[in-house]
Chains A and B, each alone.
Chain A
Amino acid sequence: MTPAPAKTIKMQLNGAEVEAPEGQNLIEVCRGRGIVVPHFCYHPGLKVDGNCRMCLVEIEGMPKPQVACATPAREGLKIHTDTPKVLEVRRAVLEFLLVNHPIDCPICDQAGECYLQNYYMLHGKYESRLEGDKVEKRKVVDLGAQVVLDTERCVLCTRCVRFFRDVTGREELYIKNRGDHSEITTFPGRDLESAYSGNVVDICPVGALTSKDFRFKCRVWYLKTVDSVCPGCARGCSTFVDHAQNEIQRLRPRHNAAVNGWWMCDAGRMGYHEVRQGRLLGGWLAGHGEVAARHALDETARILAGATPADVGFVASPDLPTEAMFALARFAALFGGARVAGGSLRAPWVEDGILRKADRHPNSKALEILGLAGGLAEMLARPPRVLVVSEEDLAGDGGEAALAALARVESLLVLSSRRTPTVEMARAALPIPTYAEIDGTFVNFAGRLQRFHRAINPLGEARAVPALLAELAARLGKEIGWTPATATPAALWPAIAEAVPAFSGVRFDAIPADGFALDPAREAIAR
């Protein structure tokens, strides 16, 4: 994964001696020292192109300024990023970029996170010298499901062109025409067809490529952002959840070299809509439909109180966060001898060789580590009298066979974030939150433990599984080890770490932003 560490060289940056890996490009060398070299076309996830000329710096011994992005660090290099010459060139390049720019910030979605705006405030602030007309180009060009293009705002940095060339391997954009009539465009008659198109919106430094989904929805300065993990598949792409007014506004990929690089797929990006879709906001009772959660809780407690261990079975979903799985396992143990199965009946995806995995669940690995995976077929072949299903929609995903199996269950109890066919078959169902409403962890296919943060408040009466099960345990007069009030991940993790060898030593609050790889050896012991 990580290449062999390069030789460390000594060079000078604005007069100060610095060390850097040999060959590292100067933008990154500077970034590492807190010095921002402005740039448009350079992106660490793409090959260097050197076209925007914004990152020109002075190098002693070179007559002309050089682009930092294409200059590798080497022994003895002396570079300057803040000389009058450099500042003058920067300003000149900015002025050139803005000559034909429509300067329509008030109606531009990018405003607030626009490189042109930011650099102008830092390095521009000149009186306009442009009189007369600007070059007019195409606006509001529909590029398919994800993206809208405004070629007048474009700075022609070709990041989007190179994204397809370098990342998906199938070119979908190019620049037509020459000179100041150059325009980004798709190939004639084609839309953006890639399942990763949304990424070009993120990497577009200006308002040229905007998201159809996010357009005109919210000014970016109203957004609050939390670190999260995409629940769309076993890759577990690191994401940012941008939210405002208790509403998720958009997802963006968060750089994680070990998981997703700088990217995420469009399905994952749009996945946040499911947080609001088809939710079970209160409880469910057979014969009553949706009811206040407390009625469903009463009924659930009543049924479980009357069940013997041999009567009860539990189904854990690979969609649940690790903490919920652990809580379910502990709860099941309160019924010594109860059967526990884990898994899903959802049809897998097709892996695409880029990011998307066939396994559509974010936490299958944790299910394995906790020893909960498997046994679903057996459970359905020989269903218990009382079956507690968490989050899985067995009825919706499993077809006739699953429906027949569930019909044989006397009391189907469901914990679910959505009002699924399974919920509608249940004796009682309780609402639980999605990943966006709680703190928690997922373990991706490669065994990387990642943390996600709560973005919005739980919808309706949804309660996190550990709290819900603590409440149920208390109702049943059993001791689960925590109370609804202490059912936070931070409070649960010491018990998880102690009980599960693969997780030993994990401290919830110490999980790094990019997660960490669990020890595969210890994982094996857990199984």
Chain B
Amino acid sequence: MTFQPILTRNYARRDSHRLATYEAGGGYGALRKALARKPEEIVEEVKSSGLRGRGGAGFPTGMKWGFLPKGLDKPVYLCVNADESEPGTFKDREIMERDPHMMIEGTIISSYAIGCRHAYVYIRGEFWAAFVRLRDALDEAYRAGYVGKNVLGSGFDLEITIHRGAGAYICGEETALLESLEGKKGQPRLKPPFPAMVGLFGCPTIVNNVETLAVVPWVVDHGAAAYRAMGTEKSPGTKLFSVSGHVERPGNYEVPLGIPMMELIEKHAGGVRGGKKLKAVIPGGSSTPVLNAEECARATLDYESFASLGTFLGSGGVIVLDEDTCMVWALSIIEDFYAHESCGQCTPCREGTGWVARVLRDLEAGRGTMADIDLLLSLGKNMMGNTICVFSDAAAMPLESFIKKFRGEFEEHVTRGGCPHAGRSFLELATR
């Protein structure tokens, strides 16, 4: 089957965010179909579609839903993770800004499937425009009877509450999100228990990413087989990739999984900017290990190919770095981010991220030593795998991959006593 866009199908329409536009394109048809079926059938449909979570971990969505305990006398909650904060990722924001009803319909259908009567959307606080679009769309959906008491006369009740976060990257981690939603400081919880057993307000909870839920109506409408007809065996369907950095046309692109990464960069994003050579790509958001140009040439956009290259598809944030990029500087920016965003709960992460960022700033400024390079690798190793959540790993992975693949640049900073690319600020590079 040839590629057909799922997530971006309405983007080009005028007033794509309005209910009327969405309905004109067949919107909420999937909801009607879903309500006519048993909830278990919807779960089965999503399971057999092979849809994998688009928030970063890539966990099969249907299987996640299957972890909910049966016959527990407690409400079930669905939380929509709209706290998109991974540097390099901006796909969920665009969904909410340009086609919020797609996500809302997905939320309703998924709630119906898992037995949720009250869903929460946890939206990143900085997403004001997306919030306004989503809020207005939700109002439209309530008025049209898609949400609220007795949805479309089916007897199914659903409330959806939008909650704005206050600007912490960690609140995208699902248990930190739940803590924050409960009014506490957003810090990841010890697991087990997992949210499917003990989640929001102590009740069974599913947390799904915006893009994941936005796909659900299409899957219900067209069937799992149609979804599986795109993409690869283990990575079925299409996915949004946010391409940023040194390309001619940065932006979100929906492509079937499995196409060569260079096709995304060259065909869709217009290639490396100004005819420069490609140096590296951070393929799935800032936390994923970097790929050098040779690896980029081999990479295809699917979970398996990225795993074989020792990296992750992640959230689909493809950051392209051209030949002029200082890798020490780039890493320093990334690690500053993690030092700023560590929740501070676990020792290795709290202290490690800050320490790494300081050493990198010194290296970039020419104050580093050769020993610092090995120190960084050692700190990365000590930060990996020893904490409550994977934030620490997320900070350690780029560290290790940058140094291993571009060690020469780090050493050059020491021998030169400064940055060979010095004099160019981040803003200069970004706006050139």
Query: Interface on A for B, CB 8 Å cutoff?
Result: 48-54, 56, 63-65, 67, 70, 89, 92-93, 95-97, 99-100, 129-130, 132-133, 135, 155-156, 174-175, 177-182
Contact = CB atoms under 8 A, between A and B. Distances in A.
13 contacts: A49-B190, A53-B386, A67-B190, A93-B386, A95-B382, A96-B347, A156-B345, A156-B350, A175-B185, A178-B170, A178-B342, A180-B342, A182-B344
A299 B193 CA distance: 74
Given A179-B353, A180-B351, 14 more contacts: A51-B388, A65-B385, A65-B386, A70-B190, A89-B382, A93-B347, A93-B386, A96-B350, A97-B347, A99-B351, A99-B355, A179-B340, A179-B342, A179-B354
A113 B344 CA distance: 25
Interface centre among B347, B378, B386 (most CB of A within 10 A): B347
A177 B185 CA distance: 10
Contacts of A70: 190
B375 interface: yes
Interface string B359-387: 00010000000000001001000100111
Contacts of B387: 53
B346 A53 contact: yes
Interface residues of B, number: 29
Nearest to B388: A50
Describe A's contact surface by its main secondary structure.
loop
Contacts of A52: 346-347
A181 B342 CA distance: 10
Nearest to A88: B382
B345 A135 contact: no
Given A49-B190, A89-B386, A135-B354, A178 B344 contact: yes
Contacts of B345: 51, 156
A177 B343 CA distance: 8
Contacts of A97: 347, 351
Given A51-B346, A97-B351, A182-B344, A64 B388 contact: no
Given A178-B342, A179-B339, A180-B342, A96 B388 contact: no
Interface string B327-349: 00000000000011111111110
Contacts of B348: 53, 92-93, 96
B272 to A, nearest CB: 34
A95 B386 CA distance: 14
B386 A179 contact: no
Nearest to A98: B351
List 5 A-B pairs, minimum CB-CB distance, nearest first: A180-B354, A182-B344, A92-B382, A96-B351, A179-B342
B299 to A, nearest CB: 25
Contacts of B362: 132
A178 B343 CA distance: 5
A97 B349 CA distance: 10
A24 to B, nearest CB: 17
Given A49-B190, A64-B386, A96-B382, A54 B355 contact: no
A174 B345 CA distance: 12
Contacts of A178: 168, 170, 340-344
B352 interface: yes
A177 B344 contact: yes
A429 B388 CA distance: 65
Contacts of B358: 132-133
A133 B357 CA distance: 12
Contacts of B339: 179-180
A175 B350 CA distance: 13
Contact of A92 (B190, B350, B386): B386
Contact of B347 (A48, A54, A181): A54
B235 to A, nearest CB: 23
